[in-house]
Structure 1
Amino acid sequence: MRDSDWEILDALRRDHNLTKVANSLFMTQPALTKRLQQIEKEFNIVIADRNNKGVIFTPQGEYLIEKAGDVLSLLEEVKHHLLLIDEGKTGTLKIGTPHSFGRFVLPSLLQKYKTSHHDINFDIKTGMSGEVVKLVRNKEVHIGFIRGDHDFEGEKYLLDQEEGYVAFNKKIQLSDLPKLPRIEYTRDPVTVKLIDNWWRAHFDTLPTIGFQVNNLDSCWEMVLKGLGFGIFFGPAIVPESEYFKLSMPTKEGALLERNTWMIYRQDYIETALVNTFIKFVKEMNALY
């Protein structure tokens, strides 16, 4: 049915007189009658019976006319909501993030965004950075945040460069590392390769992996208990007074760094919901 058909039924709901309804809609009465017959044919019902007393609506007609106002209100609501989505003012933004970024960075970012975009909702999917790349590539999320330099065919925006460092519960030197147990946690293969390349450039022996845990928090707890050293990037989750921090210089004299990227598909840029958030992240990043 067309919107105008619901308007006809809504007019009949307010005024059961065909002549008055036709006049209010700037139609002739034969044109109105013809349109009502077409509506009856579409729904396979009789809307009204006509006799010498006027128009008598059937139960089916009464029900259809009664719902016309609800349908028109819903249509207006849908049109308004679609307009807001088109303007990037409402909708659900799907974001992919690695666990560390989702824990330490993303909540603050979303909190700031929500202060000026109250009606935007978020669907957050977490996983390793390589998995986030796949989520963006397969259109399962609109925007992804990843750690490390992954291959990606779409758009990439550099958010941060985090220095790598060794953490232990007491003072050590780089030369001590091969003799100490290392506590390792489950990481993305790109970060694992970055650390392995650094290790091979400095030491002739493989590291002694004393403990293998599945998350960053467990790794930090074991480091603080003196069970071994850990290798981390970015800010620590404990106060600096509780551990000893050792920088990780490269053979070229720089410090080991890991890039953090925002990634998204080119075909999503024209979507206001996505584009508005991308601009916000870039503006926030420019402030720091």
Structure 2
Amino acid sequence: MDEKDFELLRILDETRNITHAADKLYMTQSALSKRIKALERELGVEIMLRSRQGIRFTPAGEKVLAHSKAAAHEMEQLRRGLDSMQGEVCGTLRAGISINYALYRLPEVLASYHKKYPMVRMDIATGHSRHLYQQMLEGNMDIAVLRGEYPWDGTQFLLSQESICLIHSREYKDVPLSDYLYIDHRSDSALASLMARWRFENGVSGDTGSFVVDNITACLEMVKRGLGWALMPEIALDDFDGCVYPCTFENGEPFVRRTYIFCQRDAAELPQVQLFMNALKKNR
């Protein structure tokens, strides 16, 4: 077995389907089937069963799969260790960036970082913070920029803090919120709960009607067109020319959203990760 076989087994485990695995591996189904048979002959065991519903690993196959994952991880660690020993900053940067930060701040950070360190291979994923947090817990990423509060025992820094703001178009400047539509956007449960609290405290808990969109960009565009009002993070409002009011709760506490850098303890020692953290902090 070699590294190509490790990748082949990983894709088969991920797809559980010969056709889909062949597509991902840029192989024909025939070539993939032949390689599986060759592996089984080499190992002296049957490693998977096939049916119309897909494939299943045999008990022996499960053991082979576990060992191949461990071997692939060891090879990756070896490469990363060797990369860190070289004079030029190189290696792989595995990062997860929350959607909002990726949309409004990340391009500038990455452009500057890549210009300074072109030898670094950037493996960047964007997504909802709750999903990226799970990836960090599973050790699939070195560093992440997450919005909201999550428990973490690795390296962590507060990157920024911004207000959650009430926004609407200027035509509604003197109109009570209860007289027109609330436009909501999907968010993590913690932020959604705080927004519901603010609406309740301000007597606009939904009786006047509302609708929900998938992201803050769509929400902002609807507010710009005078469809209603919304609660939006400050990060999204650079180009908004309507009315903006930072929110506070009934007890006087400001309604804020915090963004953090999360980093794996061992990854924090890698030059490419350290320098990426510095770039993020510089661009607060």
**TM-score, with structure 2 as normaliser:** 0.64
Aligned positions, number = 206
When Rg is computed on C-alpha atoms for both structures, the one with the higher figure is 1
| Aligned counterparts of 2:192 and 2:163: Cα–Cα separation in 1 | 15
Going from structure 1 to structure 2, the CA distance change for 1:150 and 1:281 (only over 3 Å counts) comes to: same
Is contact 1:137–1:265 with CA below 8 Å preserved after alignment?
no
Q: Report the equivalent of 1:246.
A: 245
Gap runs ≥5 in structure 1: 1-78
Query: Match of 1:192, SS?
Result: helix
Going from structure 1 to structure 2, the CA distance change for 1:183 and 1:146 (only over 3 Å counts) comes to: same
Q: Report the equivalent of 1:182.
A: 182
Identity of aligned residues (%): 23
**What per-residue deviation string (whole Å, max 9, x for no partner) do you get for residues 72-118 of structure 1?**
xxxxxxx9996444357112211111211111111111112122212
User: Following superposition of structure 1 onto structure 2, how do residues 1-288 of structure 1 map, counting pairs within 5 Å?
Assistant: 83-87=82-86, 89-170=89-170, 172=172, 176-203=176-203, 205-206=205-206, 208-237=208-237, 239-241=239-241, 243-282=242-281, 284=282
AA in 1 matched with 2:260: W
| Aligned counterparts of 2:224 and 2:254: Cα–Cα separation in 1 | 24
**What per-residue deviation string (whole Å, max 9, x for no partner) do you get for residues 183-206 of structure 1?**
112212222122122223333744
**What per-residue deviation string (whole Å, max 9, x for no partner) do you get for residues 103-143 of structure 1?**
11111111121222121121121221111111111111111
Is contact 1:146–1:260 with CA below 8 Å preserved after alignment?
yes
| Aligned counterparts of 2:263 and 2:81: Cα–Cα separation in 1 | 23
Deviation at residue 145 of structure 1 after TM alignment: 0.6
Is contact 2:94–2:124 with CA below 8 Å preserved after alignment?
yes
| Aligned counterparts of 1:246 and 1:276: Cα–Cα separation in 2 | 36
Is contact 2:171–2:226 with CA below 8 Å preserved after alignment?
no
**What per-residue deviation string (whole Å, max 9, x for no partner) do you get for residues 191-236 of structure 1?**
2122122223333744655221112222112111211111111233
AA in 1 matched with 2:214: N
Most deviating of 230-239 and 261-270: 230-239
**What per-residue deviation string (whole Å, max 9, x for no partner) do you get for residues 26-63 of structure 1?**
xxxxxxxxxxxxxxxxxxxxxxxxxxxxxxxxxxxxxx
